[in-house]
Amino acid sequence: MTQRDQIVSRVRARLSAEGLDAYLAYTPQNNFYCSGYLSWFVGEHWRFHGGNLTLIPADPSVPLALMVPEVEVPPARQTTSIDDVRGYSMWIETRELEVIMTPPENEAAPFQRTSWLDPDEQDAILRELLGDRDLLGSRIGTDLSYIMLHSAERFRQVAPQVRWVDWTAAMFDLRAVKQNFEIECLRRATELQEMAFDTVRVTLREGMTAVDVRNVYTRAVVEAASADSRYAEYTNSWLLPTVGNDGQVSNAALASRLTRGNLVKLDGGVTVGGYKGDGARTFAFGQPQDAAQRLYDTLLAANDLACAELIPGRPVSEAFLAAERHMQGNGYPQYCRGQYGHSLGLEQFPEEPPYISRDEHRPVEIGMVFAVETPYYGSDIGAITIEDLVLITEDGPEPMHRSPRELVVVD
């Protein structure tokens, strides 16, 4: 059984436990997670959302199905173990050269393509997929929290007897426990990020702006990924940098110029194999203010305490409470955050449930990966963020970031 098959088996087991007959993946992230096919059209362009659908019947004897744009049918068949892959037409010409050079048999009714997409064709395919599996009168889980209104209306018209159940939270729960290949993607994303952070650190010069810092980081990621075949699945990166005493996240702050005594905050991630890493480091350009150093040390200690609580079997909320108690009991009684970290993996914005929050009482599980963070975004001493990826093993939390966590002073 492949690791992707293990994911499908876990989905099917949960469907059966909840009395559902199937799951229909709608979001690009859940389509990739369930099928193993990373769609370019649907994954990169929000107007295509709903253009890929992965159908997983709860019954293991009933085969999976995948609907994709016709131009993506060949790669979808090559990269998945799904036999039933059906494509719908687009404006793109995909037929073989021999076909397009052959005169049409009926010139009075020439073949024509839609100028965009044909929703009626997509609906017909979905109806066939459900009908072929005797699911037109069943209970089906799907990503109702993120489905566009017109998609939901079309689903009801396609299969008026189907009872659609919101399965958004269930999929986040399943995705929170990572397979080995997912962990490896996040490791490589973390490696690339840390190499780029190191490049930024040694490149810092007086007068640089946050835009300059972001550009250095982006080039460093691309160069590091290009130099090593281990990162062949790298696709993109992102960074939210701040420079100077104004730590607010805004476009106006991007123009601030670096001077001695300023903090430089780097908070970003890299995507490898569809999995989006996340992490942060803060540097001091010259000797930092005493207030900045003191706050940094307190945030670092709170981060350590949160990480130490991420033990299999303990409630996730214990990590939140440990960080909060430390911050509020060591000189910052009104420091307040809604969470001290989060799961991550496939979302465009890397934060995924479960969150390290006061209200998250589910137990920590082996195979989870958390981004544990303790930030400060003030407009007085600058921004501070300490964020590390932590893998939960049977022996407890294992840090995936390796770079120094103390406040590094750049001379």
Distance CA 343, CA 357 (A): 11
At residue 47 the predicted structure's pLDDT band, cuts being 50, 70 and 90, is: confident
Of 141, 176, 211, at which residue does a domain stop?
Answer: 176
Q: Are residues 87 and 164 in the same domain?
A: yes
pLDDT value of position 278: 98
Residues 27 and 76 in one domain: yes
Provide the pLDDT for residue 352: 97
When pLDDT is cut at 50, 70 and 90, the band that residue 201 belongs to is very high
Mean pLDDT of 50-54: 95
Closest by CA to 278, choosing from 197, 384, 203, is: 197
The mean per-residue pLDDT over the stretch 37-48 comes to: 87
Check: CB of residue 93 under 8 Å from CB of residue 72. Answer: no
- Identify whether residues 184 and 157 lie together within a single domain: no
Asked whether residue 246 carries a pLDDT value surpassing 80, the answer given is no
CA 384, chain centre distance (Å): 23
Q: Predicted confidence band at 18 (pLDDT cuts at 50, 70, 90)?
A: very high
pLDDT classification of 209: cutoffs 50, 70, 90: very high
By three-state DSSP, how is residue 224 classified? Answer: helix
Whole-number Å distance between alpha carbons of 235 and 217: 15
**pLDDT class of 250 with cuts at 50, 70, 90:** low
Residues 149 and 186 grouped into a single domain: no
CA 336 to chain centroid: 25
Q: Tens digit of pLDDT for each residue in 66-95? A: 999 999 999 999 999 999 999 999 999 888
List, in sequence order, every beta strand (DSSP E) within 72-131: 84-88
For the chain, percent of residues with pLDDT exceeding 70: 98
Same domain, 157 and 249: no
What lies within 8 Å, CB to CB, of 345 at 6+ separation is 29, 175, 178, 182, 186, 275, 276, 352, 369
pLDDT, mean of residues 339-363: 96
For residues 194 and 85, state if they share a domain. Answer: no
CA distance 353 to 343: 6
Q: pLDDT category, 164, cuts 50, 70, 90? A: very high
For residue 53, the model assigns a pLDDT of 98
pLDDT at 1 > cutoff 70: no
The Cα–Cα gap between 188 and 195 comes to 11
- Count structural domains, the chain: 2
Where helices occur in 18-65 by DSSP H, the ranges are 28-35, 40-44
Same domain, 172 and 194: no
> What is the reported pLDDT for 95?
86
Write the CA distances from 208 to 244, 256, 283, integer angstroms: 10, 8, 14
Does 185 share its domain with 172? no
Q: Where among 126, 144, 176 does a domain terminate?
A: 176
**pLDDT at site 43:** 82
Same domain, residue pair 61 and 157: yes
Q: Say if residue 164 is in the same domain as residue 242.
A: no
Pick the last residue of a domain from 119, 149, 176. 176
Whether residue 228 is found in the same domain as residue 251: yes
> Which residues, at least 6 apart from 307, have a Cβ–Cβ distance to it below 8 Å?
319, 372, 388, 390, 397, 399
pLDDT in tens, 258-290: 999 999 999 999 999 999 999 999 999 999 999
Residues 186 and 167 placed together within one structural domain of the fold: no
Question: Residues 137-166: what's their mean pLDDT?
Answer: 96
The CATH number that applies at residue 130 is 3.40.350.10
Q: What 3-state DSSP class applies to 125?
A: helix
**Is the CB of residue 243 less than 8 Å from the CB of residue 256?**
yes
Q: What is the pLDDT of residues 19-30, one digit of tens each?
A: 999 999 999 999
Instruction: Check residue 44 and give its pLDDT.
Output: 79
User: Which CATH number characterizes residue 315's domain?
Assistant: 3.90.230.10
* Structure token pair of residue 87: 């494509």
Query: Can you give the residue range of the structural domain that contains 313?
Result: 180-410
Average pLDDT value over all residues in the chain: 95
pLDDT digits (tens, 9 = 90+) for 284-343: 999 999 999 999 999 999 999 999 999 999 999 999 999 999 999 999 999 999 999 999
